[in-house]
Amino acid sequence: MELELNNKVAIITGGAKGIGEAITRTFAAEGAVACIFGRSAIEADQLVQEMTALGQRAESYVCELTDEARLREAAAQVLSRHGRIDFLVNNAGVNDGVGLRAPVADFRASLERNIVHCFVLMQACLDALIASQGAIINIGTKCATTGQGGTSGYAAAKGAMNALTREWAVDLAPHGVRVNAVIPAEVMTPQYDRWISQRPDPAAEIARISASIPLGRRMTTAQEIANTVVFVASSRSSHTTGQILFVDGGYTHLDRAYTAPPLT
């Protein structure tokens, strides 16, 4: 299916690794210009070089996402260079373990890391997105729906992201701009791998988690998340807005005990 993304411009926060990298690669493979926003200068530059060698277009804009001035400057640089911004993917975030007994300052900092920069970047890109009748895709987490324990800051931020997805969808519908969220659950990313490696028996933990995912008894891949993001951004999803889309093999909403016998 032709997604009609040639020469469209996409900003992807945290686009140099994990799910963000898969999203960057997929936009570029479909002919878009993928603009990576994040602090990982070396990783972003390596990714840009690799994609350039493939004849694809990607760019790196180094910025600390909690630096409002730099974030607005980077968005302005994209607009100045390309004359348009078509897609904004708010992907960057970190499950930072700021729990109930954390200092309030840590809770505030978690919100800065995980949701405030999304609001800032939306403002910075807003007029350009309206001009292009573009699309925003927010990358959330199952924690905002299920809870996880020990991560009040991250869960609060991602819960806000779900709410803002629908709030922004209402605000921007008159302008033809669509806003949706894509929600992963269990995806093997570098961050996830670091977490799982700290468990007493990582292999057993992966097997346990995989067994609890109804569809295929396996984790979702980063590419599967990216495929949904890019499709929802494209004009092939032209009447989809305000949706919270779970790409998780049924992990969040289906009965993970899964006691029904196989169909015959």
Instruction: Give me the helix-helix angle, 117-132 and 152-172, nearest 10°.
Output: 20
- The pLDDT tens digits for 138-157 are 999 999 999 999 999 999 99
Residue 178 tokens read as 């669509």
- The pLDDT tens digits for 15-33 are 999 999 999 999 999 999 9
Please confirm, yes or no, whether 154 is among the known catalytic residues. yes
Residue 150 tokens read as 């020990």
Domains of the chain: 9-185+222-246 (3.40.50.720), 188-219 (no CATH)
- The pLDDT tens digits for 106-146 are 999 999 999 999 999 999 999 999 999 999 999 999 999 99
Catalytically annotated residue among 154, 192, 251, 258: 154
Over 70: is that where the pLDDT of 258 sits?
no
Is the CB of residue 241 less than 8 Å from the CB of residue 173? yes
Question: What mean pLDDT do residues 70-79 have?
Answer: 98
Q: Give the CA angle between residues 50, 53, 58 to the nearest 5°.
A: 60
What's phi and psi for 45, nearest 5 deg? -65, -40
0.75 exceeded by pTM = yes
